[in-house]
Amino acid sequence: MAPSLLSANFARLGDEVEAVVAAGADLIHFDVMDNHYVPNLTVGPLVCEAIRPHAGAVPIDVHLMVRPVDALVPMFVQAGAGLISFHPEASEHVHRTIQLIRSHGAKAGLALNPATPVQVLDHVLDDLDLVLVMSVNPGFGGQAFIDGMLRKIEAVRRRIDASGRDVWLEVDGGVKASNAGRIAAAGADTLVAGSAVFSGGAGQYRAAIDAIRASAQLGRLQARAEAADTRALEAAA
């Protein structure tokens, strides 16, 4: 579970990070927008560095919605990023950027916009630690989940499973307790949520995270049960 700071109170960002860590966050999702690749402007390496002490042992998951990418990679690693994801459309040489991230000691992720074909993974999946499926168009928080992305999540999960590697499948955009089960059943193992976590105030962060996590777990269990039933029917046929 990765709360997105895009929906946090920026006037109290350190406190917000500490609050979601105490509420059970597995990652801190840190959205970087440049008003060039996406139509919004957010935060940079100095803010990442400022919140790093507040996150404790929880990794900072930096999502770069910027163009170009490479110059920012070493700055964010130095600022404390544990994972860095970028969009293939924003890099001239996708494989080189992945190698750059890993060479600086961070985990590397590739972020797929709703219209980005999953085939972009075919020649780089063996070098990735994370695939981020965007279930909204990037640039703004608070958007509704695009239901058609469930099929894309399933397609990415099939590719990851076929690779035999431990690659995280993260989903970002419109995630909440009411749809987390479907998203997890489709194959996601890491969920990013912004407004669904932060909108209720600090006193509700744990309840919000627990509700999303419980919904996701139920979805996974149901998917496994359905898969087992299918296998049983096929074996009996």
Answer yes or no: is 87 a known binding residue: no
**Sequence-distant (≥ 6) Cβ neighbours of residue 1 within 8 angstroms:** 24, 25, 26, 27, 190, 191, 193, 209, 212, 213
What is d(CA 93, CA 127) in angstroms, rounded to the nearest whole number?
A: 14
Answer yes or no: is 195 a known binding residue: yes
> 22 vs 43, 82, 137, 192, 214, CA distance in Å?
23, 19, 30, 17, 17
31 is catalytic: yes
| Residues β-bridged to residue 56 | none
Answer yes or no: is 34 a known binding residue: no
Answer yes or no: is 219 a known binding residue: no
Among candidate residues 15, 26, 31, 229, the one labeled active-site is: 31
Answer yes or no: is 95 a known binding residue: no
> 92 vs 70, 108, 123, 132, CA distance in Å?
10, 16, 15, 19
Tell me, what DSSP letter sits at residue 7?
G
Closest CA to 121 of 145, 85, 150: 85
Answer yes or no: is 173 a known binding residue: yes
Answer yes or no: is 122 a known binding residue: no
Answer yes or no: is 194 a known binding residue: yes
Answer yes or no: is 141 a known binding residue: yes
**Contact at 8 Å (CB) between 144 and 197?**
no
Among candidate residues 147, 166, 172, 189, the one labeled active-site is: 172
Answer yes or no: is 56 a known binding residue: no
The residues annotated as belonging to the active site are 31, 172
- Residues of each annotated binding site for a divalent metal cation: 29, 31, 63, 172
- Residues of each annotated binding site for substrate: 4, 63, 139-142, 172-174, 194-195
